[in-house]
Chains A and B, each alone.
Chain A
């Protein structure tokens, strides 16, 4: 299975702190994407990183990819209460993991 698996399952931080989530996968991939889901809503695309890229930035988001370890990380800097959501990684053909539930405490 190419399904990504996120770690940790749940994360609670204070507003202003950084949040780091990890994703591991089992087989070779072409690309990896991160998505966000607010409670009860559909997923929203955050960022895509290709297999030949090691790091990518988008606003307060920083994604890294280590294909040798088959892992990716999502860093949210200077977190805000509005960042509270579940975060999922997806590998080829949009297989999603179980997600990391992030709670940012104001």
Chain B
């Protein structure tokens, strides 16, 4: 059973381009969480999704950011018209159940650099 897979591991985008980050949860997990982490800082919650539904997007910027978790395929975090301030590590986690009834398993992250 492969762990949470994120790709790409590193992504470089020019200002104004779009960034697409993919997350394949562990097999059997239907809950996905996205976080952003700046250097030397903690994890900032962005969005919590369950298959085909956004459960909590309170941490997601209102503009340029969107997330989806379709019935088939990985979860996608999409950042449109990237700016330098979007440079960060983006982590995805998945769990079998929602909330803290079970532990979350994390991917290795995607490091986005906006030049």
Instruction: State how many residues of chain B have any CB contact under 8 Å with chain A.
Output: 24
Closest to A3 in B: B45
In the bound complex, do residue B106 and residue A43 qualify as a contact, i.e. CB atoms below 8 Å apart? yes
Please tell me if B69 contacts chain A, counting CB pairs below 8 Å: no
Closest to B89 in A: A40
Say yes or no: A92-B99 contact (C-beta < 8 A), given A41-B109, A42-B106, A45-B105. yes
Stretch at the interface among A54-62, A65-73, A74-82, A93-101: A93-101
Contact with A along B17-54 (1 / 0, CB 8 A): 00000000000000001010000011101001000000
In the bound complex, do residue B101 and residue A94 qualify as a contact, i.e. CB atoms below 8 Å apart? no
Smallest CB–CB gap between B37 and chain A, Å?
Answer: 9
Smallest CB–CB gap between A55 and chain B, Å?
Answer: 18
Instruction: State how many residues of chain A have any CB contact under 8 Å with chain B.
Output: 25
Smallest CB–CB gap between A41 and chain B, Å?
Answer: 6
Contact with B along A85-106 (1 / 0, CB 8 A): 0001011111111110000000
Selected contact of B4 from candidates A29, A31, A42, A93, CB within 8 Å: A42
Interface positions, chain A 17-65, Cβ under 8 Å from B, are 29-33, 35, 40-45, 48
Which of A3, A32, A95 has the most C-beta atoms of chain B within 10 angstroms of its own C-beta? A95
In the bound complex, do residue A93 and residue B100 qualify as a contact, i.e. CB atoms below 8 Å apart? yes
Q: How far is the CA of A42 from the CA of B89 in the complex (A)?
A: 10
Q: How far is the CA of A45 from the CA of B107 in the complex (A)?
A: 12
Say yes or no: A31-B100 contact (C-beta < 8 A), given A88-B42, A96-B42. yes
Contact with A along B80-115 (1 / 0, CB 8 A): 000000000101010100111101111111000000
Beyond A45-B104, A48-B100, A91-B100, 15 additional contacts (C-beta under 8 Å) are A29-B100, A30-B100, A33-B104, A41-B109, A42-B91, A42-B107, A43-B93, A43-B106, A45-B103, A93-B56, A93-B99, A94-B95, A94-B100, A94-B104, A96-B42
| Among all A-B residue pairs, the 4 with the closest Cβ atoms | A42-B106, A98-B42, A31-B100, A45-B103
